[in-house]
Structure 1
């Protein structure tokens, strides 16, 4: 780090945010490094726009799960439930919920790796129950369980940040999901 260019300053800042431990420094080259903050991977507070967009996207994409389940298109329904709804929307909301619980000072790690570590037992069990196999009825139950959990976490995150939860969107989509579930199959 003898260069004093922009890259060196940026790299030094990143190293401090990411964290480090000096094992050996015979030439005292690390003395100018900033004290590590370990903040590079902390969950960031969402803006109100990000919060509302995530909620809206989650609810609208649940309609695809319902249609896939009703049509007996298991592969598509599982993709929308497990990949899109779970890993794009629910995962982010769980991260924000953990951020709220721990004053935005923890890292839940990649892809929910440490969710169990940071969630209370009841919430973990609710999350765990959204994982199901190939049975269509089990997937309907998982969809509504995921929706309930998403609502619970979203409301708490929103309340903590002073954002209003868009309950009208949820009400209308839930009504639609229930209608699709009750439809007779031709």
Structure 2
């Protein structure tokens, strides 16, 4: 698993070498000194860019971040409208267990981005936990796998009826990753 410093160096090096990227931002738990550190913390990165089309139209540029298990681009989903306005997000899970949520933000929206507060309060976190049957570790895993099963069966049904190809190989990789994570000891320091 690449270290936090290796990921940060990579993120900054890419930005320094690409003149379309004018600034780098970071939010989420890694920016909160009170948030406990664990191996599941993702890197919530924002690139402030001069234009977006060249990034979106040629996705091979993203390969520089490393080999992925899966990448999702929510703004490319046709069934649901984009929720981030002018932004574009790459949600990436890498084969070394690291996760990067990379958001492209047009330079014209930089001030709006800089004013956002993205940390959840303890009270809000407890509200999120309360959406699970009892908030326990075991019930969260049970709920996660139940959600995966429901998603899989629904997605296969939709794909079959609308003549789409269901990504069985990605499904298999993500499921294997989740099973591996579930089996980690509570004090685990590496995913792989």
TM-score class, shorter: 0.3 to 0.5
Who wins on radius of gyration, i.e. which is larger? Answer: 1
Relative to the length of structure 1, the TM-score reads: 0.33
Higher helix share: 1
Relative to the length of structure 2, the TM-score reads: 0.32
Higher strand share: 2
